[in-house]
Amino acid sequence: MDHFTYRDGRLHAEEVTIAAIAAEVGTPVYVYSRATLQRHFHVLREAFQGIDPLICYAVKANANLAVIHTLAALGAGADVVSGGELRSALAAGVPAGRIVFSGVGKTADEMAAALQAGVCQINVESVPELEVLSAVAMSLGRSAPVAIRINPDVDANTHAKITTGRREDKFGIEWTAAHAVCAAAAALPGIDLRGVACHIGSQLTGLEPFRQAFMRLRDLVVMLRADGHAIHSLDLGGGLGIPYGCEDGPVPAPAAYAEVVRETVGAIECRLILEPGRLLVGNAGVLVTRVLYVKEGATRTFVIVDAAMNDLIRPALYGAFHAIVPAIAADPAVETRPVDVVGPVCESSDTFGRDRALAPVAAGDLLVVRTAGAYAATMASTYNARALVPEVMVSGERFAVVRDRGTIDDLLARQRIPTWSSDDAAVTVGAVT
């Protein structure tokens, strides 16, 4: 459930019409619902009653400070994968003791920042990384709280570009090597081995891959404890899918996911850590865009809008489906027709949806791309010298801009034309030998 609903034919974000936000802020614009963020967190936490895991929001899904702060106020921690995300989480009010630092390519500087901040746990993904972390910890006179991320060799049955738990994926340490790696970790100075972790992918629409991965982790914890390692934490990652309005079928409810956790690792006596991202924020946001032109092609009708693939790259990158609806509901008696909703960027992949059944629209009309709260603003770029678009958060009858609209001046201000000598300018082709 989300809080984007039609009332009297007008799409609202909570108590505010989408049209009112677009009129004041302009388009394109991301709009987030604070009530939806809160509801999703409460549903997830209630599903795990009796287990009380540390729920660390995966900041990579949406790094806006207002979003992170809303979840932190409810008790969420943060899963971060860069120094920038670490700073964002701290700036948004997440206590360092509720932050897990993940990621396959941490730098020494990022490790130092995590240790100096006092994060809960650093998930290590390779032996070379473990050795660098040991050196960093020793240089700071600190002990690094470590979990070893295991690659359980489980196919998540999701898109190839967002699956992370197969043997050929770059993430984690092969589970059959866990004994040797944990032994090496325990022997390194400055390393406090506390747990194991895994994350098998994103947008999983079935529970069986979770079950397989968690059972493998459970057995591994038992064996590692038999080896003498004190395993106190078990990080299960995230990845539970959400409905995008396509025909992929229903996705599991958080309660069903929680039941799999109970059945597989509920009795293992570890502190459980969850890393949901999309599950919390995906359906809490939309991208609002305005129709520029309706173009009748030779075989297709194109609805050209002012948002583009640089604002929401998922359809171009993953072939992802996002429902597209009008801000003003069409008369049910009006016949729809298939159209392609496309952006202005000079790429054929700049397409939000093909053959979408829409009632006739005209220049100036507002369209809303649903389920854009995750991996939209965080993956945005300035391709085609297009400035980043603003983000708005709604709370009841109020809304606020939580990231300003960028400008072309912002882009130009960070660039320089080098001053070369006049002799350099006179160099001709063929002068280099």
165 pLDDT band (50/70/90 cuts)? very low
Predicted confidence at residue 370, as pLDDT, reads 97
Predicted confidence at residue 71, as pLDDT, reads 98
Between 8-12, 42-46, 412-416, the lowest mean confidence (pLDDT) is in: 412-416
Q: Which residue has the tokens 């009332």?
A: 7
> CA-to-CA distance for 103 and 433, rounded, in angstroms?
45
Q: Please tell me whether residues 287 and 272 are part of one structural domain.
A: no
Q: Please tell me whether residues 51 and 140 are part of one structural domain.
A: yes
Residue 224 contacts residue 148 (beta carbons within 8 Å): no
The CATH number linked to 296 is 2.40.37.10
> CA-to-CA distance for 318 and 316, rounded, in angstroms?
6
Residue closest to 113 by CA, chosen among 76, 140, 132, 79:
140
Residue 58 has pLDDT above 80, yes or no: yes
Residue 27 counted as domain residue: no
The CATH number linked to 88 is 3.20.20.10
Q: Please tell me whether residues 329 and 269 are part of one structural domain.
A: no
Residue closest to 392 by CA, chosen among 10, 16, 1, 9:
16
Q: Please tell me whether residues 186 and 290 are part of one structural domain.
A: no
Residue 306 contacts residue 290 (beta carbons within 8 Å): yes
- Residue 271 backbone phi and psi in degrees, to 5: -75, 120
pLDDT in tens, 91-132: 999 999 999 999 999 999 999 999 999 999 999 999 999 999
Residue 420 counted as domain residue: no
Q: Please tell me whether residues 215 and 105 are part of one structural domain.
A: yes
Residue 108 contacts residue 88 (beta carbons within 8 Å): no
Q: How many domains does the chain have?
A: 2
Task: Please give the average per-residue pLDDT across 425-433, as a whole number.
Answer: 52
pLDDT in tens, 328-384: 999 889 999 999 999 999 999 999 999 999 999 999 999 999 999 999 999 999 999
Residue 433 has pLDDT above 80, yes or no: no
Q: Please tell me whether residues 191 and 309 are part of one structural domain.
A: no
Angle at 52 between CA 49 and CA 54, to 5 degrees: 140
Predicted confidence at residue 298, as pLDDT, reads 87
Q: Please tell me whether residues 275 and 293 are part of one structural domain.
A: no
Query: For the residues of 63-116, what is the DSSP string, one character each?
Result: --HHHHHHHHTTT-EEEE-SHHHHHHHHHTT--GGGEEE--S---HHHHHHHHH
Task: Please give the average per-residue pLDDT across 7-36, as a whole number.
Answer: 98
Mean pLDDT score across all residues of the chain = 91
Q: One of 56, 120, 182, 346 is an active-site residue; which one?
A: 346
- Residue 199 backbone phi and psi in degrees, to 5: -155, 115
Predicted confidence at residue 201, as pLDDT, reads 83
Residue 19 counted as domain residue: no
198 a catalytic residue = no
Q: Which domain holds residue 174?
A: 34-279
Q: Please tell me whether residues 142 and 261 are part of one structural domain.
A: yes
> CA-to-CA distance for 279 and 285, rounded, in angstroms?
12
